[in-house]
A and B are shown apart, each in its own frame.
Chain A
């Protein structure tokens, strides 16, 4: 069974790109447009990985990350932060909140897919 990845980003074009890239690599892709939707989808669809934008309406990516890590049963969910905010402090904050990886935008598509595949192969 193909692995499920939830993409949470409020930029429709970035979502479209991620959706295309991940589906092409054989993943099932769910899309959330904001932090609240992302949490609902994690609850409802139990994805294997969440790709989280940091600057999202309603709830930020940091908050979504923190809330996922609060629930022990969601421990196995890999979290990749994906953000245009690339300062050290922001990267460290994401990792401290329990993200497995922090990728800054713009990213290399090949690099991103390789990292996602690597994390999910564990």
Chain B
């Protein structure tokens, strides 16, 4: 068999696609590619492969028994088609594959608007040039102003003007000073510009309406509808995207606001902390310098000043410890024991621990607890911390000399309740929310500012809430304060 015939069979594979491209509007690029590939695969299999096998490059059994022994796939008698010469056999199968794939893929994958337009240009080329000279070879009655009006209707006056200016500039003219000739090139140009805005098929129809009276054909209407539905789908997708973007933007804005707020809080916090640290440092530094500069101080005064330095140092230490504690609580790094607690023991222990302070200030303490209480769950050290905080606050604000603190333990529905009541000056209702904030102390006009970090109640509340309880205060100005907290039953 001659190499010429094999080559002819190969070249013949291009024929369906080329003819389809010229005469069939429905043909698509993807269909053509698939057709060529399918045709060539069959050509290779039925013509080239046997040649290779005969010359010994491949086992000859491939021809006699088919690949993997499948008789149906024998290259020379594909699907049992026998009795033809090899070229005819190859042409029949490769054309079936080629044309079949072309038609199938083209019909299944619908053409894009652009392909449609291109296809129409090719397929209808004789019709257009035959009737009125066609788009390219058109000689008619349209005028440049008319084309301009059409363009302006869809692109707006500014857009149309810009388009015309660019077109004129490309031709070396000055628009609108120089008159533009409404030739085929201008018509085509306007059509392309319009196509960008309303789709190419619609653009062609619009232009046609200006340059010549012509009824819409059904085909063209279908194309317009096709295009419109494509545009609708596309704009729907765009709309969805823009909704998503809007939502994302809103989220980002919100996150930004939160960050700003956090930043402001952090700023406030740093400012407050530095103030709280500087205050004891001021006393410490001043008295240290005084002691350093005044070697002649009386012993009594010396002792007093050293006492102040010690106290302020303790205050500083306490503040730093509480700040570390707070940062642990707030970052969630605190380690919590979760054990069964007998609140009666916790109360007894803390009261004993505070007895020295109570004694120094001559404070009477009354404890009333039931004989038996249900156990609660919690971290014993943390609950003791809360009790100590409440008791030392109460001791601090009690009237000196006639101070009185009442501690009561009682059962409630589902929880134990602890009350710590003092007979101090009380807290204004307006201040009662604030005292649980960080670094918030309610200054008293008559007594000196209480010593303390202003963190104790804030920390206590976090601890109680961690175990599912509540910490609150009830008080009236001049009538003492009662701090209470609950812990849920086990």
Q: Residues of A with Cβ closer than 8 Å to B?
A: 10-14, 16-18, 20-21, 24, 33-34, 36, 55-58, 84-87, 104-110
Instruction: Collect the chain A residues with CB atoms within 8 Å of residue B290's CB.
Output: 17, 20-21, 109
Instruction: Collect the chain A residues with CB atoms within 8 Å of residue B312's CB.
Output: 13
Stretch at the interface among B92-100, B171-179, B248-256, B280-288: B280-288
Docked Cα-Cα span, A110 to B293, in Å, equals 9
Docked Cα-Cα span, A110 to B285, in Å, equals 11
Q: Does B317 contact A (CB under 8 A)?
A: no
Distance in Å from the Cβ of A13 to the closest Cβ of chain B?
4
Q: Which residue of B lies closest to A13 (CB)?
A: B283
Q: Does B444 contact A (CB under 8 A)?
A: yes
Instruction: Collect the chain B residues with CB atoms within 8 Å of residue A21's CB.
Output: 286, 290
Distance in Å from the Cβ of B297 to the closest Cβ of chain A?
10
Q: Does B125 contact A (CB under 8 A)?
A: no
Report B382-426 residues with CB < 8 Å from chain A CB: none
Q: A84-B274, A87-B271 are in contact. Are A11 and B285 (CB under 8 A)?
A: no
Q: A84-B274, A85-B275, A106-B278 are in contact. Are A10 and B443 (CB under 8 A)?
A: yes
Q: Does B449 contact A (CB under 8 A)?
A: yes
Q: Which residue of B lies closest to A82 (CB)?
A: B282
Instruction: Collect the chain A residues with CB atoms within 8 Å of residue B449's CB.
Output: 10-11, 57
Task: Give the dominant DSSP class at B's interface.
Answer: helix
Task: Give the dominant DSSP class at A's interface.
Answer: loop
Docked Cα-Cα span, A21 to B301, in Å, equals 13
Are A107's CB and B282's CB within 8 A? Answer: yes
Are A34's CB and B274's CB within 8 A? Answer: no
Q: Mark B435-454, 1 if CB is under 8 A from A, else 0.
A: 00000000111001100000
Distance in Å from the Cβ of B175 to the closest Cβ of chain A?
61
Instruction: Collect the chain B residues with CB atoms within 8 Å of residue A16's CB.
Output: 308
Q: A16-B308, A17-B287 are in contact. Are A106 and B448 (CB under 8 A)?
A: no
Docked Cα-Cα span, A41 to B49, in Å, equals 116
Docked Cα-Cα span, A108 to B285, in Å, equals 8
Are B286's CB and A85's CB within 8 A? Answer: no
Are A84's CB and B308's CB within 8 A? Answer: no
Q: Mark B259-279, 1 if CB is under 8 A from A, else 0.
A: 000000000000100110011
Enumerate 5 A-B pairs (CB-CB under 8 Å) in ascending A order.
A11-B279, A17-B282, A34-B443, A105-B282, A106-B282
Q: Does B356 contact A (CB under 8 A)?
A: no
Distance in Å from the Cβ of B206 to the closest Cβ of chain A?
66
Docked Cα-Cα span, A16 to B282, in Å, equals 12
Are A106's CB and B281's CB within 8 A? Answer: yes
Q: Which residue of B lies closest to A109 (CB)?
A: B289
Residue from B285, B293, B448 in contact with A33 in the complex, judged by beta carbons closer than 8 Å? B448
Are A12's CB and B286's CB within 8 A? Answer: no
Are A36's CB and B445's CB within 8 A? Answer: yes
Q: Give the A-B contact count at a CB cut-off of 8 A.
A: 75
Docked Cα-Cα span, A87 to B448, in Å, equals 26
Are B275's CB and A109's CB within 8 A? Answer: no
Residue from A17, A86, A110 in contact with B283 in the complex, judged by beta carbons closer than 8 Å? A17
Docked Cα-Cα span, A109 to B449, in Å, equals 23
Instruction: Collect the chain B residues with CB atoms within 8 Å of residue A86's CB.
Output: 274, 278
Q: A20-B290, A84-B274, A85-B271 are in contact. Are A105 and B281 (CB under 8 A)?
A: yes
Docked Cα-Cα span, A58 to B282, in Å, equals 22
Q: Which residue of B lies closest to A54 (CB)?
A: B275
Distance in Å from the Cβ of B285 to the closest Cβ of chain A?
4
Are A55's CB and B275's CB within 8 A? Answer: yes
Distance in Å from the Cβ of A20 to the closest Cβ of chain B?
6
Distance in Å from the Cβ of A40 to the closest Cβ of chain B?
12
Docked Cα-Cα span, A29 to B282, in Å, equals 19
Are A17's CB and B275's CB within 8 A? Answer: no
Docked Cα-Cα span, A18 to B271, in Å, equals 24
Are B278's CB and A58's CB within 8 A? Answer: no
Q: Which residue of A lies closest to B292 (CB)?
A: A109
Q: Mark B198-234, 1 if CB is under 8 A from A, else 0.
A: 0000000000000000000000000000000000000
Distance in Å from the Cβ of B412 to the closest Cβ of chain A?
37
Are A57's CB and B443's CB within 8 A? Answer: yes
Are A109's CB and B293's CB within 8 A? Answer: yes
Are B275's CB and A14's CB within 8 A? Answer: no
Instruction: Collect the chain B residues with CB atoms within 8 Å of residue A106's CB.
Output: 278, 281-282, 284-286
Instruction: Collect the chain B residues with CB atoms within 8 Å of residue A55's CB.
Output: 275
Are A110's CB and B281's CB within 8 A? Answer: no
Q: Name 4 extra pairs, CB < 8 A, besides A17-B283, A20-B290, A55-B275.
A: A11-B449, A17-B290, A24-B294, A85-B271
Docked Cα-Cα span, A21 to B291, in Å, equals 11
Are B283's CB and A57's CB within 8 A? Answer: no
Report B311-349 residues with CB < 8 Å from chain A CB: 311-312
